[in-house]
Amino acid sequence: MKNQNKFAGQVVGLIKTLAIPVAVYLLFGILSGGRMFNSRAMITVLRQTIQPSIICYALLLGMSIGMMNFSAGAFVTCAAIMGNGLSNLLGWGLPGLVFFAIVVSLACSAIMGLLYNWLRVPCMVLSLGLMLFFESLPRFFFPGGAVISTQDAFLARQPWCFVVMALVMVLFYIIYNKTPYGHNIRAIGANQSVALAAGLNLDKIKFTNFIVGGFFLGVAAVLYMSAQGKVQNVSALGSMAVMMDGFMGVFLGMLLARWSDPSIAVFCGVLTMKILANGFVAVGLESTWKDVVTGLFMLVIMAISENATLPAKRKADRLFAAQANAERAG
């Protein structure tokens, strides 16, 4: 009975999680005259959701414990260029790209983690500085950027991209829910003071957090390289564009995580943003409007999220006030 209730709760939670992306999809499907109501359009949106979602997983891990990492995009471009470049130099093809992209991303993350613990600078500030550094780093070794051959770029195409997404989603679920590390970051996210008092080593956990996030960013770099075909060096915060899809989706994902596991919630958050973006193309509106609507959409969602408990709190306050007045009158 207890298991049945738990299962029913999970199903209800999943339905609530899917409600927003489905609602947005229905809206744009209707506005586009039914053009989005076909399997090809849905698969296209799902495919476009994958790489930002993986970046989002990395961002979520940090934001769970109050660390906002603006250099995620720089990690992705750095890992993509250097990973592909090293692989091409050694003639290792796709396996080389996967290996070196993840290693480079881990190295970047380790550097950031070590600096974070050593300098005690807020993560946001540190990430802004390192973003410029890691944007520039590949230029020294591969000034022309990186190019991948068509036959090695299949991971960004279906069905392989979905296989990768499924594996990453399962991995994230396991890490977040079934490992001590996942337990610890949830504990820190809930109440850092209590976690510290309980004896958790915050420095170690935060450093691990960077490393785990770095792994996901390395995988994202492989998909990014495969999808782009050619990745050029960026500068002056140009890498922000790489992570922006994920960045917007992570906030929505954190809201949806109230009803389902973050591995699903994050994906649904990014999916919603992608449906929004694609919907504007289908409807024929310019990206300027898309940017305005996306911003307003996020504001509304976050306002609802942050104030969701307000009505219940006010009701409870009114009840308490009524009781207090009654006792006083009595």
Partner 1 sequence: MKKIIALILTLTLLLALTACGASGSTTSTAETTQAATAADGKGTSIAADGSVITNYDKATVQTDKELPKFRILVLYNSFTDKLGSQYKSSMEYIAEPLNIDFTFLETGSSGDEAMAAIEAALVSGYDGCIGTVASEARAALFDKAGVPYVVCGGMPSDETQAKAMASYENYLGSVVVDDYAAGYAMAEALYADGCRNVMWDGLSRGYSGQHDARAAGFADGFASHDDMKLIVENWDYTQWADGIATAAATYPELDGVGCTCLMANIYNTIESEGLVGQVQLAGIDVSEGTGRAFENGSLSYIAGGNYACEQICFAVLYNYLLDGTRVIADPTVNLTLNNINLSSLEDYNNYIKYLDSAVPAYTAQEILDMTHYVDESFNAEKMTELCKAYSLEDVIARHADLVQ
Summarize as ranges the residues that interact with partner 1 (CB under 8 A).
32, 35-36, 38, 40-41, 43-45, 47-48, 82, 85-86, 89-90, 103-104, 106-107, 110-111, 113-114, 139-145, 147, 150, 153, 156-158, 204, 207-208, 211, 227-230, 232-233, 235-236, 238, 241, 277-278, 281-282, 284, 286-288, 290
Q: Any alpha helices (H) in the chain, and if so which ranges?
A: 2-31, 39-63, 72-90, 93-119, 123-141, 160-178, 180-190, 192-197, 202-228, 240-256, 262-283, 287-306, 310-329
Nearer to partner 1 by Cβ, of 59 and 156: the residue is 156
- What are the Cα distances from residue 231, in Å, to 165, 223, 227, 234, 285? 22, 12, 10, 9, 28
Residue with Cβ nearer partner 1 (99 or 173): 99
Q: Which of 148, 145, 138 is nearest to 229 (CA)?
A: 148
* Least Cβ distance, residue 221 to partner 1 (angstroms): 14
Q: How far is the CB of 33 from partner 1 (least distance, A)?
A: 10
The distance of closest approach from Cβ of residue 8 to partner 1 in the complex, given in angstroms and rounded to an integer, is 36
- Closer to partner 1 at the Cβ: 224 or 267? 224
Residue 104: partners with Cβ closer than 8 Å, 6 or more residues away: 78, 79, 82, 83, 86, 218, 221
Residue located via tokens 């594996």? 167
Q: Can you tell me the distance from the alpha carbon of 323 to that of 310, in angstroms, rounded to the nearest whole number?
A: 20
Cβ closer to partner 1: 89 or 124? 89
Closest CB to partner 1 among residues 24, 264: 24
DSSP string, 50-96: HHHHHHHHHHHHHHTTT---TTHHHHHHHHHHHHHHHHHHHT-HHHH
Task: Report the alpha-carbon distance of residue 73 to residue 138 in Å, rounded.
Answer: 13
Instruction: Name which of 179 and 235 has its Cβ closer to partner 1.
Output: 235
Choice between 68 and 211, CB closer to partner 1? 211
- Nearest approach, Cβ of residue 43 and partner 1 (Å): 8
- Name residue 59's beta-bridge partners: none
The CB-of-272 to partner 1 minimum distance in angstroms stands at: 15
Cross-strand partners of 147: 230
CB of 64 to partner 1, least distance (A): 20
Give the residue among 239, 234, 232 at the shortest CA–CA distance from 147.
232
Least distance (Å) between residue 173 CB and partner 1: 23
